């Protein structure tokens, strides 16, 4: 994961009670349409706008059915988070109990899977429906650290009247996303929540650090799986004629023969045995192996894609689909990559690193970050993306699929070019 600046909800040196009163005034003015006596943080203001567009009730939210224990248990098992739950508990439960907080873990859809910590705070949480099995995404319960972190994919602290729904104004929450290091997929969010009076600017940094420890644990487990796949790879590659690689289901390379090594190749989301066009290598033959795939390069002339579809219809997930003579291929995009591809789709003539930096961050000086992200994408999508300037290949048709209801493209994004 790349470095993310952590912005505490409470300004340095601010008196919590006075700041809470100001936030309450700003919140009420925003809901009534009156002139704001101050301005919420950008991430909070953007979320409030989403809630108003949804027509969310600021008193009740949008109540949804609570998962039964029979429904909750399969979600826990399939979340990908259960394996790191001990890491999260070791890092946060002791503090939660001492500081009158609860630790809450939700899945990628916002359903609360686990809740631990202070008994008294847990009873208070029950009073606002903040319990296991409940949907805590922001489109159900308004702006909050958990739900809004799911949308923005960034660590976030929310304090008092920054919450959209009034029943949550007595709370402070700090949440950090959990990602699968194998494919960047969002697994869910870990959160510390407690009474507003317990707000502390360091809480967010702690939660983010523990989330990164959990991701490091998953990364170590993945490396172990790759080592196991290498044990399978050696005898298989010894029998293969021509150039080939062996990759795990997420495209990470365990071994190769006759090819310059790369860390990872882009495999289709629904990979299947047979002929496929892969951005890294062109035409290939894919054969299943225990725990991965044998990818053999064919001697046929490459058939590059002729059509690229950037699917931005969903506010939560973005997908890149390619189609050509060798069939179709799709890949789930990270939020930052979705932003960059959207900007390049708007500017087919291309963008320089400084222009993309301005487009994404409002600052032309963050070219190192832009070049690093573009390098990652070009390793995945070779033949589709070109450099100097960065652009889609000239012979590729690019289509952007937008929300059918006329909603915002990439509503989680704060990139100036996207919001414009």
pLDDT digits (tens, 9 = 90+) for 299-351: 765 555 678 899 999 877 888 888 765 556 778 888 889 999 999 999 999 99
Q: Are residues 292 and 313 in the same domain?
A: no
Residue 200 resides in a domain: yes
Q: Are residues 197 and 88 in the same domain?
A: yes
Q: Are residues 200 and 82 in the same domain?
A: yes
| CATH number for 129 | 3.30.450.40
Q: Are residues 71 and 22 in the same domain?
A: yes
Residue 227 resides in a domain: no
Quote the pLDDT of residue 120. 95
**What CA–CA distance (Å, rounded) separates 34 from 249?**
53
- Considering only CA atoms, give the Rg of the chain: 23
Tell me how many degrees the CA angle 347-351-352 measures, rounded to the nearest 5.
175
List all residues 6 or more positions away from 415 whose beta carbon is below 8 Å from its beta carbon: 339, 343, 359, 360, 361
Place of tokens 């390379």: 253
Reported confidence tier of residue 3, pLDDT bands at 50, 70, 90:
very low
Q: Are residues 157 and 119 in the same domain?
A: yes
List all residues 6 or more positions away from 261 whose beta carbon is below 8 Å from its beta carbon: 253
pLDDT > 90: what percent of the chain?
Answer: 61
Q: Where among 228, 262, 297 does a domain terminate?
A: 297
Taking only the tens place, the pLDDT of each residue in 196-217 is 999 998 999 999 999 999 999 9
Q: Are residues 180 and 82 in the same domain?
A: yes
pLDDT > 70: what percent of the chain?
Answer: 96
Q: Are residues 271 and 291 in the same domain?
A: yes
Quote the pLDDT of residue 133. 97
Q: Which domain holds residue 284?
A: 240-297
CB-count burial class (<10 Å; 0-12, 13-18, 19+) for 34: exposed
Provide the token pair at 88.
């999260």
> Given the DSSP bridges, would you call strands 112-117 and 102-107 parallel, antiparallel or unpaired?
antiparallel
Mean pLDDT across the stretch 380-398? 86
Q: Are residues 267 and 200 in the same domain?
A: no
Residue 231 resides in a domain: no
Quote the pLDDT of residue 167. 95
Residue 235 resides in a domain: no
Quote the pLDDT of residue 233. 87
Residue 228 resides in a domain: no
Contacts 24+ apart (CB under 8 A), 111-119: 111/67, 111/72, 111/75, 111/135, 111/136, 112/136, 113/72, 113/75, 113/76, 113/79, 113/81, 113/188, 114/76, 114/85, 116/89, 117/92, 117/93, 118/194
Taking only the tens place, the pLDDT of each residue in 221-277 is 999 999 999 988 888 888 888 899 999 998 999 999 988 778 888 887 777 888 887
Reported confidence tier of residue 4, pLDDT bands at 50, 70, 90:
low
Q: Are residues 315 and 405 in the same domain?
A: yes
Reported confidence tier of residue 278, pLDDT bands at 50, 70, 90:
confident
Residue 4 resides in a domain: no
Q: Where among 260, 275, 297 does a domain terminate?
A: 297
Residue 232 resides in a domain: no
Residue 53 resides in a domain: yes
Report the number of distinct structural domains present in the chain.
3
Q: Are residues 252 and 327 in the same domain?
A: no
Mean pLDDT across the stretch 372-387? 83
Mean pLDDT across the stretch 189-193? 97
Q: Are residues 257 and 170 in the same domain?
A: no
Taking only the tens place, the pLDDT of each residue in 121-141 is 999 999 999 999 999 999 999
Q: What is the pTM of this model?
A: 0.79
Mean pLDDT across the stretch 278-286? 82
Quote the pLDDT of residue 300. 65
Q: Are residues 280 and 332 in the same domain?
A: no
Quote the pLDDT of residue 117. 94
List all residues 6 or more positions away from 184 whose beta carbon is below 8 Å from its beta carbon: 334
Q: Where among 220, 255, 286 does a domain terminate?
A: 220
């Amino acid at each position: 994961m790349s470095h993310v600046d952590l912005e505490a909800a409470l300004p340095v040196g601010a008196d919590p009670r006075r700041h809470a009163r100001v936030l309450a005034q700003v919140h009420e003015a925003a809901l009534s349409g009156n002139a704001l006596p101050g301005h919420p943080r950008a991430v909070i203001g953007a979320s409030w706008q989403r809630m108003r567009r949804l027509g969310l009730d600021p008193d009740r939210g949008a109540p949804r059915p609570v998962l039964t224990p029979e429904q909750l248990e399969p979600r826990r098992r399939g979340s990908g988070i259960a394996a790191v739950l001990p890491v999260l508990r070791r890092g946060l439960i002791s503090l939660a109990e001492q500081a009158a907080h609860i630790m809450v873990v939700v899945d990628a859809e916002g359903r609360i899977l686990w809740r631990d910590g202070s008994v008294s705070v847990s009873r208070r949480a029950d009073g606002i429906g903040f319990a296991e099995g409940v949907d805590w995404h922001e489109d159900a319960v308004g702006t909050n650290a958990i739900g809004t972190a799911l949308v923005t994919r960034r660590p976030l602290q929310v304090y008092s009247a920054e919450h959209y729904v009034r029943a949550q104004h007595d709370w402070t929450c700090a949440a950090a996303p959990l990602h699968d290091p194998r494919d960047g997929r969002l697994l869910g969010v870990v959160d510390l929540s407690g009474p507003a009076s317990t707000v502390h600017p360091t809480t967010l940094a702690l939660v983010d650090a523990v989330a990164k420890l959990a991701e490091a644990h998953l990364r170590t487990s993945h490396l172990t799986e790759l080592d196991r796949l290498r044990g399978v790879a050696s005898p298989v590659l010894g029998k293969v004629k021509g150039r080939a690689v062996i990759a795990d289901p997420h495209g990470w390379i365990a071994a190769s023969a006759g090819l310059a090594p790369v860390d990872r190749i882009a495999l289709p989301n629904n990979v299947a045995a047979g002929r496929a066009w892969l951005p890294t290598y062109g035409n290939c033959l894919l054969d299943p192996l225990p725990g991965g795939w044998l990818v053999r390069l064919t001697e046929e002339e490459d058939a590059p894609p002729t059509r690229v579809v950037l699917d931005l219809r969903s506010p939560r997930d973005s997908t890149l689909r390619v189609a050509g003579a060798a069939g179709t291929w799709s890949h789930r995009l990270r939020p930052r990559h979705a932003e960059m591809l959207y900007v390049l789709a708007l500017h087919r003539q291309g963008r320089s690193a400084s222009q993309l930096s301005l487009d994404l961050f409002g600052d032309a000086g963050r070219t190192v970050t832009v070049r690093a992200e573009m390098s990652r994408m070009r390793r995945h999508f070779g033949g589709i993306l070109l450099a100097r300037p960065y652009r889609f290949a000239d012979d590729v048709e690019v289509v952007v699929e937008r929300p059918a209801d006329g909603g915002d493209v990439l509503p989680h994004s704060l990139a100036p070019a996207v919001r414009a």
